[in-house]
Amino acid sequence: MAKAPRFAVFSLVAAFALLRWSAPSFAGARGPKVSFQSALQQKLKVFGRQNSCTARAAVGIFYATQTGNTETVASKLAEATGLEASDYDGEDFSDLDGVIAGCPTWNTGADEYRSGTTWDDYLDTIKEYDLKGKVVAVFGCGDSQSYADNFCDGLEELHNAFQAAGAKMVGYVDETGYSYGESKSVKDGKFLGLPLDEDNEDDQTDDRIAAWVEQLKGEGMPL
């Protein structure tokens, strides 16, 4: 066989083998699942880390949403960090060095399962993971005017799940830049992550994200 066709055949076989190697395993409805694309991306990142001195650490952005606001801000975060944002579907984060996770708040005043999204199905599972050594930051979407006394309550619950798993939590934000009544997500004057209000203050979202990404870099998120 001539050199060029032989190389083409070799490339095809290698690509097929990589795809087979990266194929996801199928778990039960509530168990950890990995999409085919993200499984392939993670495998490639891990391969890169193992075979290059200069490879970047792997960080994933995950969001869940009802009406699209949290997806919109996750996309902006992705743009600001050069990462991709994924709709959370039970991933176990095992191949990642860092996680940026976002939720809205829909279940007003609830003690548990406040986001009203897929996160609620997995919070108890996430608490059981071993995420020691991983850096995690959370963000949330809420409405500081219509739901002033429960502003971004879901943020604390998501934060606490990752914290219970042993992750190093970063990205706390001073409350002084926000106008609201009460929030379960504020401790000692700081939100436990980045609150965003697409309903009333979407004109501030870009600046808030830009500042937060710089803060995360300074606090050890491997971006």
Ligand X SMILES: Cc1cc2nc3c(=O)[nH]c(=O)nc-3n(C[C@H](O)[C@H](O)[C@H](O)COP(=O)(O)O)c2cc1C
As a whole number of angstroms, the distance between CA 72 and CA 88 comes to 14
Find the binding residues for ligand X in span 66-95 (CB under 6 A). 66-70
Contact window for ligand X (CB under 6 A) among 103-111, 167-175, 184-192, 207-215: 103-111
If one counts every other C-beta atom within 10 angstroms of the C-beta of residue 39, the result is 18
Query: Is position 101 an interface residue for ligand X (rule: CB under 6 A)?
Result: no
User: Please, what is the minimum distance in Å from the beta carbon of residue 191 to ligand X?
Assistant: 11
| Phi, psi dihedrals of residue 104, rounded to the nearest 5° | -90, 180
User: Please, what is the minimum distance in Å from the beta carbon of residue 207 to ligand X?
Assistant: 18
Considering the complex, state which of residue 65 and residue 160 has its C-beta at the smaller distance from ligand X: 65
User: Please, what is the minimum distance in Å from the beta carbon of residue 87 to ligand X?
Assistant: 11
Find the binding residues for ligand X in span 125-154 (CB under 6 A). 141-143, 147, 150-153
Tokens encoding 160: 């606490």
Task: Using DSSP, state whether 99 is helix, strand or coil.
Answer: strand
User: Please, what is the minimum distance in Å from the beta carbon of residue 43 to ligand X?
Assistant: 30
Query: Is position 175 an interface residue for ligand X (rule: CB under 6 A)?
Result: no
Report which of 116, 105, 112, 111 is spatially closest to residue 139, judged by C-alpha positions.
105
Find the binding residues for ligand X in span 105-124 (CB under 6 A). 105-106, 108
User: Please, what is the minimum distance in Å from the beta carbon of residue 199 to ligand X?
Assistant: 5
Sheet of 186-187, strands arranged across: 173-174, 190-191, 186-187
Considering the complex, state which of residue 122 and residue 151 has its C-beta at the smaller distance from ligand X: 151
Considering the complex, state which of residue 48 and residue 68 has its C-beta at the smaller distance from ligand X: 68
Cα 5 to Cα 12, 13, 15, 29, 183, distances in angstroms:
11, 12, 15, 44, 64
Residue nearest to ligand X (CB): 142
In the chain the beta strands, taken as DSSP E runs, fall at 59-63, 85-87, 98-104, 135-141, 168-169, 173-174, 186-187, 190-191, 194-196
User: Please, what is the minimum distance in Å from the beta carbon of residue 109 to ligand X?
Assistant: 7
- 89, 118 in Cβ contact below 8 A? yes
User: Please, what is the minimum distance in Å from the beta carbon of residue 145 to ligand X?
Assistant: 9
- How many chain residues are in contact with ligand X, going by CB under 6 A? 20
Contact window for ligand X (CB under 6 A) among 41-49, 78-86, 102-110, 214-222: 102-110
Report which of 192, 191, 135 is spatially closest to residue 167, judged by C-alpha positions.
135
Residues at the interface with ligand X (CB under 6 A): 65-70, 104-106, 108, 141-143, 147, 150-153, 198-199
